[in-house]
A = this chain, B = another copy of it.
């Protein structure tokens, strides 16, 4: 009880015992159907506070708002200058996505505060049925020209010791395994002891990244997230284990005392609280997308969701190197002997082009095609890569011609090794080079410590860089897939050419580390992927790394059937078939699902979901009546009877079911896939049996 005492006092202050002036500042904003309500007010020293209720219960209790800055007092001494409530109801169509259209329906409160000099700060709240968002706005004012934020004071006061799924508040990486546990137990010390990520920088042991998702005792799900992150340090949260409270903790700039520097007018990113009565509602939420700005690209005809293969997994399993000198692959990066040869040679790339052309893939990613790789890893070097100069064994003219002949495109790769200004100096030249060689998609990479030195992957400077790349690629009609950036915050609504990010622990970790536990893919959609698609690179058929080197013990922590199901459960408009062509050609019957599954959808239904345990999703193909279903589980086998209610009445479907076969188990026997066909209709029941670490993929093609 003690830990709630101060908050009770605050609550009392706002109600029974409030001074008249403070009471007068209270405003409540309800969502259109009243499911969510935000109340905001000033206490007697002029400090702003808010609370959020959901379905009649408090979801976020009284929590502080405001900033510490170098120039101004933006946290106390405020007076309420004006309030304005408006309503908004709009339906918009994403360029690509999980559904054909999205409703953006909210009530909005502009809560305008003024300080004693008459300068104003607006806190803008939006109440949706499925949560709330708010941001701080600073209009253009002669009295304030620059704000150097040293701390954001925003708090999220939880009302109980919820179960949380979190990764540590690392300034430089989000490629961590998730921890499941109570708020009161959040502690990142383990991550620092393990030091599993080569570029990690975990400073505060109680800091976690957003989105963080929680489940309350009554089953309500709460996700704290950020939307439209721009010109600001990313929002991490500092946990108060006792008070069960999170406080904003922005990633600093190279000047560690500075979180952001902004010039008027500006506004903070949105702080978002996603609320749902169950886990499925979190997956269905479009709140983060809705808080982002509409599409800024006028002609979007060139933006094409797609599947691709590429010269990539070879480097991860130790068969090929990025550099011509054959010294750089993931064996080298993890301190082992390098045996492979340069992967991006003309002959090998042609092999992938042949494969892509034969099986209907749109793109062939080629990593290691350009000079610079010998110096790329761990050197914190300022000038590493030339983005317009291929290695001599990569015949770009011939490969461009060959790819065109086969009806595919080479996907460019711009690893920066985090020497970011060097990349920015070359962007114009690099994108012109891509256009010249018929390339319209690029995978960028930010491995290693950032240059400008002292900046962090998630700091203001880099967050602006990522957006700059999205804008500059859009200008050049190029789609972009970023690896190792800050986690996304819904920017793909505004810049739909920004197809996907890595920004989390991807498949690759299974090739050369302790890997991703079977529950990993059951957590990602509730956390990281809330902000935008992930280039997870599913589709590994040869899951045991000792196939490549008897000394290797690493395995992919799923069955092969689960690898198929990920194409449905982990939504992305850009999906790789990550394994080697020869592995696919050995199991073309299983591979058929990867060939068939779309990457763009008109409808999505969450059939069941429990964070960290299981997810079953059905999606309807864009512009067609075909449905695809994916179901995955964690380390526990599960059986589901799934009623096919989502199918339209009166239509008959051929279901092809790719299920875990007899004895399937992610570790003991990942390979068996049982492929069966049956005819189904709306209302039929599909019995789904998931092995430990298993999954099931189903294509439902209208007859």
Contacts and interface: CB of A to CB of B under 8 A. Distances in A.
A380 B454 contact: no
A669 to B, nearest CB: 43
Given A263-B375, A381-B261, A253 B461 contact: no
As for how many copies of this chain the complex holds, the number is: 2
Contact of A453 (B254, B378, B420): B254
Contacts of A148: 380
Contact of A452 (B379, B380, B421): B421
A146 interface: yes
Interface stretch (A120-128, A424-432, A649-657): A424-432
Contacts of A255: 254, 453-454
A229 to B, nearest CB: 15
A144 to B, nearest CB: 11
Contacts of A146: 378-381
Interface in A117-164: 145-146, 148
A455 interface: yes
A630 B424 CA distance: 47
Contact of A254 (B379, B381, B424, B455): B455
B254 A464 contact: no
A361 to B, nearest CB: 34
Contacts of A429: 428
A258 interface: yes
A417 B148 CA distance: 17
Contact of A382 (B382, B420, B425, B461): B461
Contacts of A464: 382
B263 A453 contact: no
Contacts of A258: 453
A145 B377 CA distance: 10
A453 B460 CA distance: 10
Interface residues of A, number: 31
A380 B453 contact: no
Interface string A370-385: 0000010011111000
A454 B450 CA distance: 13
A379 B428 contact: no
Nearest to A382: B464
Q: Which of A427, A453, A455, A468 has the most CB of B within 10 A?
A: A453
Contacts of A461: 382, 451-453
A258 B382 CA distance: 14
Interface in A240-278: 253-255, 258, 261, 263
Interface string A573-589: 00000000000000000
A382 B454 CA distance: 16
Contacts of A382: 231, 261, 461, 464
Contacts of A378: 146
A543 to B, nearest CB: 34
A51 B428 CA distance: 51
A279 B425 CA distance: 44
A162 to B, nearest CB: 37
Contacts of A254: 254-255, 452-455
Given A146-B379, A146-B380, A379-B145, A453 B421 contact: no
Q: Of A420, A425, A454, A468, which is in contact with the most chain B CB atoms at under 10 Å from its CB?
A: A454
Contacts of A455: 254, 452-454
Contacts of A231: 382
A464 B424 CA distance: 15
Interface in A144-191: 145-146, 148
Given A253-B453, A453-B461, A455-B453, A380 B425 contact: no
A145 B328 CA distance: 14
Nearest to A454: B254
A146 B425 CA distance: 23
Contacts of A379: 145-146, 261, 263
Given A263-B379, A420-B421, A453-B461, 18 more contacts: A146-B379, A146-B380, A253-B453, A253-B454, A254-B453, A254-B454, A254-B455, A255-B453, A258-B453, A261-B379, A261-B380, A261-B381, A382-B461, A421-B421, A424-B424, A452-B454, A452-B455, A454-B455
16 contacts: A231-B382, A254-B453, A254-B454, A255-B454, A261-B380, A263-B375, A263-B381, A420-B421, A421-B421, A424-B424, A424-B425, A425-B425, A428-B429, A452-B452, A452-B461, A454-B454
Top 9 A-B residue pairs of the complex, sorted by shortest distance between their CB atoms: A452-B452, A254-B454, A254-B254, A454-B454, A253-B453, A146-B379, A255-B454, A421-B421, A254-B453
